[in-house]
Amino acid sequence: MRTDRKLKIIIADDHKFFRAGLEAVLKSFGYVESVTQAENGKQLIDLMEKESYHIAFVDISMPEMNGIDAVTIIAQRHPKVKALALSMHDDQDNILEMMKAGASGFILKNTDKDEIDEAIKIVLDGKHYFSNGVSDVLYQQLVSKTKSPIQKQEEDILSKERFREIIFLLCHEFKNAEIGEILFLATSTIETYRKDAIQELGCKSTAGLIKYGVESGLYKDPVLFEKFKKVIGEKAEEE
């Protein structure tokens, strides 16, 4: 996620105290510019017609217009907005409907601050996020049923770009946590990319990825070297 972009976020939930609590958490993140509240889906849509937002946290069950209908409209009118579905329960049917409507992810309402931060960064990176409370079986069901062919193609392209960046940085002796800071992603996200790259390339370990990077010439890719020359230089000075 780019740190030079300040985010505008909107929360739609019919529980006043929950909205206030989530707003306080979001405002504690340095990359959040503003947080707006909506009491229901209808008010959410009305507010989004007047102001642009990057992220929308949308409760599934709301009066006047529920979250599923609201996210359907958001996906049609504001396709660049990342919608994160909210619920108190791991309600498989409703979660699946929210994802089909166009939500980028789902989080439980009892999710902690760190997971909210991670969810935001992951969906802004073009991937789906599912709360730790969502079962692995449901996760696979959601992923397989909610991605359109275009979304799959876009994710494949993005993943390959991330693979190249991560392998390049591994070749230059950066650790997962350091790579996460450089790419503005959670360490756990970098670990997921690393494991996916190992599987896709048929490697057995991180050492295999580095070997691939060296043998393929990726480690000296001029475009990536130009992109990361500052951090490479800083690392060399530290050593």
Does a structural domain hold residue 17?
Answer: yes
Does a structural domain hold residue 113?
Answer: yes
| pLDDT above 70: residue 178 | yes
Of 147, 180, 197, which residue sits at a domain end? 147
Q: What is the CA radius of gyration of the chain?
A: 19
At residue 67, the 3 state secondary structure works out as helix
> Which residues constitute the domain of residue 198?
150-238
CATH of the domain at 109: 3.40.50.2300
Q: Are residues 170 and 205 in the same domain?
A: yes
The pLDDT score that the predictor gives to residue 96 is: 79
Q: Are residues 142 and 157 in the same domain?
A: no
Does a structural domain hold residue 119?
Answer: yes
Phi and psi, residue 199, nearest 5°: -70, -45
Confidence bin at 153 (pLDDT 50/70/90): very low
Kindly give the residue spans of alpha helices, DSSP state H, lying in 28-135.
41-50, 67-77, 92-101, 113-124
Predicted confidence (pLDDT) per residue in 62-119, tens digit: 988 999 999 999 999 999 999 999 988 666 777 778 888 889 988 888 888 999 999 9
From the CB of residue 114, how many other CB atoms can be counted at a distance below 10 Å? 9
Euclidean distance between CA atoms 158 and 231, whole angstroms: 22
The pLDDT score that the predictor gives to residue 167 is: 92
Q: Are residues 219 and 169 in the same domain?
A: yes
Q: Are residues 91 and 155 in the same domain?
A: no
Q: Are residues 56 and 15 in the same domain?
A: yes
> 0.75 exceeded by the pTM?
no
Of 131, 147, 163, which residue sits at a domain end? 147
Q: Are residues 137 and 175 in the same domain?
A: no
Euclidean distance between CA atoms 143 and 152, whole angstroms: 10
- Closest of 43, 36, 92 to residue 67, by C-alpha: 43
The pLDDT score that the predictor gives to residue 169 is: 94
The pLDDT score that the predictor gives to residue 22 is: 96
Confidence bin at 160 (pLDDT 50/70/90): confident
Does a structural domain hold residue 1?
Answer: no
Structural contact between residues 29 and 184, judged by C-beta atoms closer than 8 angstroms? no
The pLDDT score that the predictor gives to residue 227 is: 87
Continuous segment of H or E residues that includes residue 37:
strand 32-38
Continuous segment of H or E residues that includes residue 11:
strand 7-12
Q: Are residues 38 and 56 in the same domain?
A: yes
Q: Which residues 6+ apart lie within 8 Å of 130 measured at CB?
A: 105, 106, 138, 139, 142
- Closest of 3, 48, 33, 38 to residue 18, by C-alpha: 38
Predicted confidence (pLDDT) per residue in 115-138, tens digit: 999 999 989 988 888 886 665 545
Confidence bin at 234 (pLDDT 50/70/90): confident
Q: Are residues 154 and 132 in the same domain?
A: no
Q: Are residues 169 and 139 in the same domain?
A: no
Euclidean distance between CA atoms 239 and 130, whole angstroms: 39
Does a structural domain hold residue 2?
Answer: no
CATH of the domain at 189: 1.10.10.10
Residue type, 226: E
Of 110, 125, 147, which residue sits at a domain end? 147
Q: Are residues 174 and 128 in the same domain?
A: no
Token duo for residue 141: 């069901």
Mean of the per-residue pLDDT values of the chain:
84
The pLDDT score that the predictor gives to residue 239 is: 62
Does a structural domain hold residue 168?
Answer: yes
Q: Are residues 70 and 123 in the same domain?
A: yes
Predicted confidence (pLDDT) per residue in 22-65, tens digit: 999 999 999 999 999 999 999 999 999 999 999 999 999 898 89
Does a structural domain hold residue 115?
Answer: yes
Confidence bin at 139 (pLDDT 50/70/90): low
Structural contact between residues 95 and 87, judged by C-beta atoms closer than 8 angstroms? yes
From the CB of residue 48, how many other CB atoms can be counted at a distance below 10 Å? 21
Euclidean distance between CA atoms 204 and 34, whole angstroms: 45
Does a structural domain hold residue 48?
Answer: yes
Kindly give the residue spans of alpha helices, DSSP state H, lying in the chain.
16-27, 41-50, 67-77, 92-101, 113-124, 136-146, 149-171, 176-183, 187-201, 206-216, 222-238
**What domain count does the chain have?**
2
Q: Are residues 99 and 205 in the same domain?
A: no
